[in-house]
Amino acid sequence: MLLENKNAIVYGASGAIGGAVAHAFAAEGARVFLAGRTQAALEAVAEKIQASGGVAEAATVNVLDEKAVEAHADAVAGTAGSLDISFNAISLPQTGIQGRPFADLSAESFDLPMATYPKANFLTARAAARRMTGQGSGVIMTITASPSRTAVPLMGGMAPAWAAVEALSRGLAAELGPHGVRVVCLNAAGMPETPQLTEVYGLHAEAYGISRDAFESRMASLTMRKRLPTVAEIADVAVMVASDRAAAMTGAIANLTGGLVAD
């Protein structure tokens, strides 16, 4: 198994992407520590992983509270003996953030993703880095979306926030590489089977005066494959990147957009 004897924290593990990545990590042998805002939702994910033969534990962690993030990372490293993988998949509800022109957007709505995504990724990555550098190994992973690298209207503060996370990932990789720690950001196009993308596509469809299905078809037509990526495809790449098979990969923004963005 690709992640045998690895210990992984997945932040936002009760969400569609975080949950799928946690399942994939566990299926490849990792001991998974699920972190997020809602204990009951995290425990539901943990139970499914355990029912499939995996090892998972759940803990409520506010990723914007640095003391809580540090305490949880300490607990994981102390219990498991190491912290090998950190994956941050936190998200925000998008109503009021996307689907509005900048001219009609409140300062508070613009600021919310800007104040949440970069800070949350900084705090969780810093906690991982502090423990991984001591052991001389580890992988820190972030995830963003294609508007960080393209000109997309009606994104509010989301595109700038994702771009900041990508810049943070590159800087971390430069600092941590000499200590044996890799940092990789996954940049994905929208995965329409997730609740968040159902919300997002609905917001954009309403703004353009078309149906949600029509907007999804429009987005799929912009990719080279003529279809959008799935959560399972993202999770499969996350496993590979977290594994030793990707040992030469760091400082990268991995393109998982299906050709919506061409590098």
Query: How far apart, in Å, are the Cα atoms of 136 and each of 27, 73, 183?
Result: 25, 16, 13
Residue 207 lies in a domain: no
- For residues 38 and 225, give the distance between their C-alpha atoms in angstroms, rounded to a whole number: 36
Count up the domains in the chain and report the number: 1
What distance in Å separates the CA atoms of residue 57 and residue 144, rounded to the nearest whole number?
Answer: 25
What range does the domain containing 36 cover? 7-191+230-256
- Among 143, 141, 185, 150, which Cα is nearest to 259's? 150
How far is residue 196's CA from residue 61's CA, in Å, rounded to a whole number?
A: 21
User: What CATH number has the domain bearing residue 69?
Assistant: 3.40.50.720
Cβ–Cβ < 8 Å for 16, 194 = yes
Question: In b/e form, how buried is each residue of 228-259, taking b as 16+ CB within 10 angstroms?
Answer: bbbbeebbbbbbebbbeebeeebbbbbbbbbe
Asked if residue 173 is part of any domain, the answer here is: yes
Nearest CA to 27 out of 57, 60, 8, 54 is that of 54
Convert the pLDDT of each residue in 236-250 to its tens digit. Answer: 999 999 999 999 999
Q: Is residue 239 part of a domain?
A: yes
Q: Which residues pair with 70 in a beta bridge?
A: none
Residues in the chain predicted with pLDDT less than 50, given as ranges, are none
pLDDT at 263: 85
pLDDT for the residue numbered 188: 96
12 touches 121 (CB < 8 A): no
Check residue 13 and give its pLDDT.
Answer: 98
- Which helix or strand (DSSP H or E) is residue 31 part of? strand 31-36
The C-alpha atoms of residue 225 and residue 260 are separated, in whole angstroms, by 9
In a domain, 18, yes or no: yes
Count of C-beta atoms within a 10 Å radius of residue 221: 9
Structural domain contains residue 198: no
